[in-house]
């Protein structure tokens, strides 16, 4: 792995483990056993590193909300969407935990985030339209975008909500699974007779993950 990539992945690990506010470029360099000068050869500052991490985040968002094509709708298809959602929330949890502060320091990054979220809303709305057309959702056409936006809102702010509503100092995988269950709850509210068993299986799957003492690392 190239030094630049090592810096990005090490930074992501440290940000997630200790919080972005508590990690400096010197911490990152020491973690990698390289000199600060070597780090600054690749990145101007910590904000530059965060921008590189954000590029990875954008890619995950795009891959996780693509419309399905020529496949039957079953629990495995829905698990693909929900697992992608979980992976993004877990892999970039430092950003979800401190989103407002991170974006307030970098106007260009804030604009990138806004565009990325608009794209996610458009793609997820299309997926909901597909699910309606295939008889899996009973929702008015005029409410599809708002429903997608509500789901996106839960995903975007669930981690910070958990950290402020509980005494926990770190987010856990079961806590994120609980957020996914809130999204499943919305799906169930708009389910149809043919989709109710599938959403029930999806709910059972994530409830079992929440109840586990230790979740396997991704």
Reduced 3-state DSSP string for the chain? CCHHHHHHHHHHHHHHHHCHHHCCHHHHHHHHCCCHHHHHHHCCCHHHHHHHHHHHHHHHHHHHCCCCCCCCCCHHHHHHHHHHHHHHHHHCHHHHHCHHHHHHCCHHHHHHHHHHHHHHHHHHHHHHHHHHHCCCECCCHHHHHHHHHHHHHHHHHHHHHHHHHCCCCCCCHHHHHHHHHHHHHHHHHCECCCCHHHHHHHHHHHHHHHHCCCCCCC
Give pLDDT, residue 65: 86
Give pLDDT, residue 145: 98
Q: 217 pLDDT exceeds 70?
A: no
Mean of the per-residue pLDDT values of the chain: 93
Q: 91 pLDDT exceeds 90?
A: yes
Q: 59 pLDDT exceeds 80?
A: yes
Give pLDDT, residue 172: 93
């Amino acid at each position: 792995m190239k030094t630049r990539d090592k810096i990005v992945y090490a930074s992501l690990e440290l940000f997630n483990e200790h919080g972005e506010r508590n990690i400096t470029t010197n911490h990152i360099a020491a973690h990698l056993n390289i000199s600060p000068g070597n780090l600054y050869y690749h990145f101007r500052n910590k904000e530059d590193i965060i921008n590189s991490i954000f590029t990875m985040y954008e890619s995950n968002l795009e891959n996780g909300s693509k419309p399905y094509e020529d496949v039957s709708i079953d629990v495995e298809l829905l698990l693909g969407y929900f697992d992608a959602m979980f992976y993004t929330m877990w892999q970039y949890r430092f950003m979800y935990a401190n989103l407002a502060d991170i974006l307030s320091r970098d106007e260009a990054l804030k604009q990138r985030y806004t565009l990325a979220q608009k794209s996610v809303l458009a793609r997820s709305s299309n997926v909901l339209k597909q699910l309606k057309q295939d008889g899996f959702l009973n929702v008015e056409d005029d409410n599809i975008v708002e429903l997608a936006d509500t789901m996106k809102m839960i995903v975007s702010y669930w981690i910070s909500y958990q950290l402020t509503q509980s005494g926990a100092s770190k987010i856990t995988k079961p806590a994120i699974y609980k957020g996914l269950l809130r999204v499943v709850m919305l799906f169930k509210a708009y389910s149809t007779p043919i989709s109710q068993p599938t959403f029930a299986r999806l709910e059972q799957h994530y409830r079992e993950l929440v109840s586990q003492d230790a979740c396997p690392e991704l």
